[in-house]
Amino acid sequence: MVLASLFAALGHALSFAFGMTWEVLWALILGFALSGTVQALVSKDEMRRLLPDDSPRTLTVATGLGAASSSCSYASVALARSLFRKGANFTAAMAFEIASTNLVIELGIIMWLLLGWQFVLGEFIGAPLMIVLLAVSFRLFLKDQLVEEARREAEKGRLGSMEGHAEMDMAVPRGGSIWRRLVSPGGFTATANYFVMDWAAVARDVFGGLLIAGALAAWVPNSFWRSLFFES
């Protein structure tokens, strides 16, 4: 009897988790496909050249590149450090990192599906606001000495779990139109590789989170959530 109840509870939780996975899977696939396409077309050296200073234009470019190459926190930190080591401006690299984790297309779609448009609006207003506050704070308080200390620390080359992802550059060489580069054999290969690497970077977090969400949805009564969020 106890085992039957346990299996029933587990099945209920897994059914919730599977339902949420099915609902958001297309958004994840679309987002990672777009991210892989951008990374296949824009090499990391090109990214570095596009981030030479902390001007509003450069920070806007950094934000756009970060949003397009969305990734997990580990990969975004590793990639921002790699760009900084190769000569990108520190503030621009940090803006790229924030956008990469907080201004994410597929996350916005998932939030729209599961939580509503208000949360998506909050994401797309909050992330640029964070970057503006970061840029202003760095302009006022960040000294060149601290930046050089950060550069020396980055140059030590301590390896994290996603350093290989950050250092690998499979972008298609420039030449020809964007479409021709993208549909070439090299373009297909690069896009597919980036797609798989992005999945590998976040799969544990995404599916672990969905399992936890399924368990909470199945086992925690709705009355608790209503009281937690002050709903009558």
Domain ranges of the chain: 9-219
Give the relative orientation of helices 2-41 and 105-114 as an angle to the nearest 10 degrees: 140
State the Rg of the chain over Cα. 21
Q: What is the distance between the alpha carbons of residues 91 and 53, in angstroms, rounded to a whole number?
A: 8
Q: DSSP 3-state assignment of 230?
A: coil
Q: Which amino acid is at 219?
A: W
Give the relative orientation of helices 2-41 and 185-219 as an angle to the nearest 10 degrees: 150
Q: Please, where are the H alpha helices in 42-69?
A: 44-49, 56-68
CB 100 within 8 A of CB 67: yes
Q: Regarding predicted confidence, which is higher, 148 or 196?
A: 148
Q: What is the distance between the alpha carbons of residues 203 and 139, in angstroms, rounded to a whole number?
A: 37
Write out pLDDT tens, residues 42-63.
Answer: 676 777 788 888 899 999 988 8
Q: Residue 74 — very low, low, confident or very high, per pLDDT cuts 50/70/90?
A: low
Asked whether residue 120 carries a pLDDT value surpassing 60, the answer given is: yes
Residue among 93, 91, 130 nearest 122 (CA): 130
Q: Which amino acid is at 131?
A: I
The conformation of residue 161, written as its DSSP 8-state character, comes to T
**Least confident segment among 6-10, 61-65, 72-76, 92-96:** 72-76
Region 9-27: what's the mean pLDDT? 80
Helices (H) and strands (E) in the chain, counts: 12, 0
45's tokens: 């050296």
Residue among 196, 91, 76, 205 nearest 137 (CA): 91
Phi and psi at 116, nearest 5°, equal: 115, 165
Q: What is the distance between the alpha carbons of residues 33 and 191, in angstroms, rounded to a whole number?
A: 7
